Structure 1
Amino acid sequence: INTDANNLITTEINKIIGNKDEIISQQKVKANETKTKEVDTLKDHINAQATFLGIKLTPKAKENIVRDLGSGVFVPAPIVELGCTTEIVCAHPWDCDTAMRVVKCETGGTFDPTVVGNDRERGCLQIHPVHWDKPQCDPEFLFDPAYNAACAYSIWEDSGWGPWSCY
């Protein structure tokens, strides 16, 4: 092959390689746009359901309405209608003032039921993973304030306030 033909072939190959990289880049952009649209659609659907059910979502709940499971799979985050209220936490026969002080401390004063601690503790009363094997302490439901308080109460019945560093 003469030099001109070789240069022409090399130029065409480089165009193809350049186009391939550009096409791959465009496909990634389209995939991200599709994922964003799917997440937005899921958020809209969940917001509509919450509105229909009369649930007022906090701005933080709206922001965190879907969770990325890390593999590009998005799932609805738990919708929490109420925060860690006195009514919910004090529905159990423990000292209400103490329980609410623990909630305030464990949530950093936010009373946010979706708080996750450094050791993966969850919810209003920051239920530690060592307690997740208890029948009333399924980690999947610990962001629900009533469920979290019931789990905490079962721990408290066995151990008092000892398991909480904020006591």
Structure 2
Amino acid sequence: MKRTLKIVGIIVILIYFIGNVLPNLIGVPLAAYHSYKSWNEAGNIANEDYQPKVSTSSQSYFKNSVWIHEEDSLAGIEIKNEKWILFYKGIEIDSTDIYDFRLTDQLPEFANTELKSGEFLVLTNKSDTLNYEILGYDKEQLSLMYLPRGKIHIYKRKK
């Protein structure tokens, strides 16, 4: 009886070791090696090549003008003196409505630029940052998609 209990006890310990301890002894170092290898192949994330490329001509891309929202004629954008001003007729503009803007070709946190590179607009002020994809821009119309929600805003130039 004692001999049988010893054999059963040894078998239980072996099963526990094989099922729980051995995978960790082998798996953790293998996972660490695989992670290190993948990181090296992808390149260092802190590499300067990873940073979005910012257009140096952001301010010359958008000319001074006023744009009225296609669906809400009281809402609009005024681009003036290298500032992006969001307004709503009847409501006074304050500092939270005035943004600096820049163009970039990547917003990796919102858009998959591997499939399609795009032009993105980043609006910033002291209290907020807004991200848009530029869907179209010409003399008469400005189309923007708000990220991350995906709402499309179409504006017509005020004459």
Larger Rg: 2
| Greater strand share, structure number | 2
| Greater helix share, structure number | 1
Structure number with the bigger relative contact order (C-alpha 8 A, sep ≥ 6) is: 2
TM value normalised by structure 1: 0.41
TM value normalised by structure 2: 0.43
